[in-house]
Amino acid sequence: MAALARSVLRYSARHEAAASESFAEHVVHGLSDSPKWLSAKYFYDVAGSDLFEQITELPEYYPTRTELSILNRYAGEMAGYIPLSAALVEFGTGSTKKARILIEAAPQLATYVPVDISAEFLAREAAAVRRDIPWIAVLPAAADFTRDFDLPAQIRSRPRVGFFPGSTIGNFEPDDAAEFLRQAGRILGAGATMIVGVDLIKDEAVLNAAYDDAAGVTARFNLNVLARMNRELGGDFDLASFRHRAFYNAANHRIEMHLESLKAQSATVAGHSFEFGKSETIHTENSYKYTVESFRALAGAAGWRPMAVWTDESDYFSVHALKL
Ligand code: AVI
């Protein structure tokens, strides 16, 4: 199951009040608003997590494979920013695939702390890393990485290196992304290093295709939130009368995903009825894109000093080393 199923993504400051709502409360809140919206965190039930895994393999969805290629190529240089006997703290560990590349390249690392909301998932992943990389101590921390949490006491005296791959930071509103980086700094402590994957602004056709693939997997991923409301909240959404829409909003530097109603209709969910006009949409996700400079400025405003950046040959994706 993909990581993000368990990783709670806040969606924007506007939506912050919704962070502690139940799914049902959230749906009633978001669908009563104008324009209608839902938090992207609700994509990631078991079916949605499986669809996200499929997205990462799509020919159009370049971020995962591009970031992996950057890590594979430059992990040795990244290791140069990792102090002796440090602890690597991964925020919202999905698959340990990316962390393993860093760990293999940085034998000076003493401890790996994957942080995820599901203790069960973490225990399984930790066991696999211990089996494959026996020289590193693995200390999983079951926590919501978007909130304050305590690092394991055993790493208190170690230098800390945060790791936040996948451009998940792009699913935060920029103010929340800065707040996340500030909070990560507080958790990791003075002198910490942070390695962050960030998707870059590029040709709009490439961006649009990545979020509206020919095989329709991203469409199924988006529509799954309607299916999830039907399954879990007694909803009666007719999936055939909504369509997936994804487009790059150049003014706001973000991909927006929406579910568009193909006709005037009403749907009932969580005991409430909602009206949809023809072409009305539910805004389901933002995925912000940065330039190297705009991300460095954001990190700087959050108290981090940009140290190094690695990109692929097409400048599609970037991996940043930051220091507190
Ligand atoms: C998880 N996150 C970084 C993905 C992204 O690219 O924003 C989620 C996604 N949404 C549609 N495709 C992928």
What pLDDT, on a 0 to 100 scale, did the predictor assign at position 6? 36
What is the chain's pLDDT, residue by residue, as a tens digit (324 residues)? 344 433 434 334 334 444 568 999 999 999 999 999 999 989 988 899 899 999 999 999 999 999 999 999 999 999 999 999 999 999 987 789 999 999 999 999 999 999 988 888 889 999 999 999 999 999 999 988 888 889 999 998 999 999 999 999 999 999 999 999 999 999 999 999 999 999 999 999 999 999 999 999 999 999 999 999 999 999 999 999 999 999 999 999 999 999 999 999 999 999 999 999 999 999 999 999 999 999 999 999 999 999 999 999 999 999 999 999
Q: Which atom of ligand 1 is nearest to the CA of 63?
A: 6
Q: Kind and range of the H or E element at 156?
A: none
Strands ordered across the beta sheet of 254-261: 36-37, 281-288, 254-261, 242-249
Query: Which residue owns the Cα nearest ligand 1 atom 4?
Result: 168
The answer to whether the beta carbons of residues 284 and 259 sit under 8 Å apart is yes
Task: Name residue, tokens 């290791």.
Answer: 79
Ligand 1 center from residue 129 Cα (angstroms): 25
Protein residues whose CB sits closer than 6 Å to any atom of ligand 1: 4, 55, 63, 166-168, 170-171, 211, 218, 285, 287
With the most atoms of ligand 1 within 8 angstroms of its CB, the residue from 65, 172, 257, 285 to mutate is 285
Provide the 3-class DSSP secondary structure of residue 34: coil
Cα 23 to ligand 1 centroid, rounded to whole Å = 20
Which of ligand 1's atoms lies nearest the C-alpha of 4?
A: 1
In this structure, the strands spanning 317-323 and 305-311 are: antiparallel
53 CA → ligand 1 middle, Å: 10
Residue 178: in which H helix or E strand, if any?
Answer: helix 174-188
Best mutation site among 6, 53, 55 for ligand 1, i.e. most ligand atoms within 8 A of its Cβ? Answer: 55
3-state class (DSSP) for residue 42: helix
Which residue, judged by its Cα, is nearest atom 6 of ligand 1? Answer: 287
Task: State in Å: Cα 288 to ligand 1 middle.
Answer: 10
Task: Extract the tokens encoding 112.
Answer: 């790996």
The tokens for 209 are 């295709």
Burial of 294 (0-12, 13-18, 19+ CB in 10 A): middle
The ligand 1 atom nearest the CA atom of 287 = 7
Identity of the amino acid at 186: R
- Measured at the CA of 45, the angle between CA 42 and CA 50, to 5 degrees, comes to 120
Name residues whose C-beta falls within 8 Å of residue 292's C-beta, 6 or more positions apart in sequence. Answer: 200, 309, 311, 318, 320
The pLDDT value given to residue 13: 38
Ligand 1 mutation target, pool 50, 146, 171, most atoms within 8 A of CB: 171
| Token reading at 233 | 């909240």
Locate 148 and state its tokens. 């304050």
CA distance 233 to 87: 41
Please calculate the CA angle 131-133-138 and round it to the nearest 5 degrees: 80
- Please choose, from the candidates 246, 264, 248, the residue with its C-alpha nearest in 3D space to the C-alpha of residue 43: 246
Nearest CA to ligand 1 atom 1: 168
